[in-house]
Copies of this chain bind each other. A is one copy, B any other.
């Protein structure tokens, strides 16, 4: 992390209504009123079976740096909307919240709280926008990247999207999120520098065009970078010029140096056809170890189809379809009030009604548990009240929260609490793992999911169930509210 990031102050990355509401809470004497808010999402992008949690480290950095500057306060004063008491509250803002989150890299599912904030209502409200934009963005990209990486079935995937990203942060944090999701490298220098992601990239068509001929362009490149020689072979014609020119340069420049070529890249045309032909030419020329990289508007479906068609592609460069999650570019995480603490210390559960059962929120301060079977496979998630403990030594019976007759009993299972304390009374109690550890954790946890959940289309719906106690509380409140 550079100094620049440490200094970047994202406190005003907030919606104006968070401030008008907060000023109202302060004026009403609600400054000590404790509320509980959950972030959750209702639908996995692209109709997938699970999403990937990402963005926690950036959220922590932003929260650690929360501060309304004199400039911010002066600006807010200039709007004429706020009184001096509130402006002074902001100038002296300090966090007192408890925050729990599911760790980065973990597969996550609809309805379950992935972040929970408990604290003074004003503080909960001031965090809302910052929290949502951070997780919504990185979860979106990590989830998309994980789909593409799975489609590539072990072949390295390189993130190439910076130029088509929705702004600098989308390129920067998008590179981080795609690395968590399983990409092996990024083309974005800033992300590589700050996150320690391997940087990748060799040449553009302009390199080839800048020289008198493709052969001379390749020759220069091989001389400059004999250990990392990947040649872009489609500027003029892949099979007639590109591959023959590459082979000639491998022979003339690399062979005398005792070096092996690293690869060729094909960025246009029919990748299945061209890669098979190019493979044959490279093999016959004595370069069976020269890899072929493909990079032309690919996504998980094209990658899967290319592999199914026997394309001889060893690695993929993925641009706009991943960095914008083009096919479904919004991770619809929301942040909803779940409870309010009363003066006697008890919690009044809060929920929002809706016409459709799936949109009714889950009230109370809660925890999320994952149930693994004896082989370590994830069977279901269980949402409980925060004060419940999940015991599994005698097996556990879960039921669907909507179709309650659907029951399932698991024996020989273990339960892991996913809700991890991040802040306690405004003090950070969590240290983010290294990005490489997050990436490994993601891979290991995705491996605990059944293949049925990992299907691209129409996957098996993973169970996210409620404890009996939580279900009872929710049903009672539902009955009361709908009257």
Q: Which residues of A contact B (CB under 8 A)?
A: 2, 4, 7-10, 12-21, 23-25, 27-28, 30, 33, 35, 37, 71-72, 75-76, 79, 81, 121, 125, 128-129, 132-134, 136-137, 140-141, 160, 162-174, 187-190, 192-193, 199-207, 209-210, 220-221, 224-225, 228, 235-236, 268, 320, 324-326, 329-333, 335-337, 340, 350, 352-354
Contact = CB atoms under 8 A, between A and B. Distances in A.
Contacts of A9: 4
Contacts of A23: 224
B129 A163 contact: yes
A25 B211 CA distance: 10
Counting every copy of the chain, the complex holds: 2
Contacts of A329: 166, 324-326, 329
A72 B125 CA distance: 38
A168 B169 contact: yes
A193 B13 contact: no
Contact of A162 (B4, B13, B354): B13
A37 B204 CA distance: 13
A173 B167 contact: yes
Contacts of A325: 329
B24 A220 contact: yes
B330 A164 contact: yes
A200 to B, nearest CB: 6
B133 A206 contact: no
Contacts of A129: 162-163, 188
Contacts of A28: 220
Contacts of A160: 15
A37 B205 CA distance: 12
Which of A193, A210, A224, A336 has the largest count of B CB atoms less than 10 A from its CB? A210
A185 to B, nearest CB: 9
Given A4-B8, A210-B33, A167 B137 contact: yes
Nearest to A269: B355
A340 B217 CA distance: 15
B201 A133 contact: no
A140 to B, nearest CB: 7
Contacts of A174: 166-167
A21 B167 contact: no
Given A16-B187, A27-B224, A326-B329, A209 B132 contact: no
Contact of A210 (B10, B12, B30, B169): B30
A13 B163 CA distance: 9
A350 to B, nearest CB: 5
Which of A33, A81, A165 has the largest count of B CB atoms less than 10 A from its CB? A165
A165 B137 contact: yes
Contact of A201 (B17, B169, B353): B17
Given A133-B164, A167-B174, 11 more contacts: A14-B190, A15-B162, A16-B189, A21-B207, A23-B224, A30-B210, A35-B206, A79-B199, A128-B163, A133-B167, A137-B170
Contacts of A224: 20, 23-24, 27
28 contacts: A10-B190, A13-B172, A14-B188, A14-B189, A17-B187, A17-B203, A21-B204, A24-B224, A35-B206, A35-B210, A37-B206, A72-B193, A121-B206, A133-B165, A137-B165, A137-B166, A137-B167, A165-B166, A167-B169, A167-B172, A168-B169, A205-B336, A210-B337, A320-B332, A324-B324, A325-B329, A326-B329, A326-B330
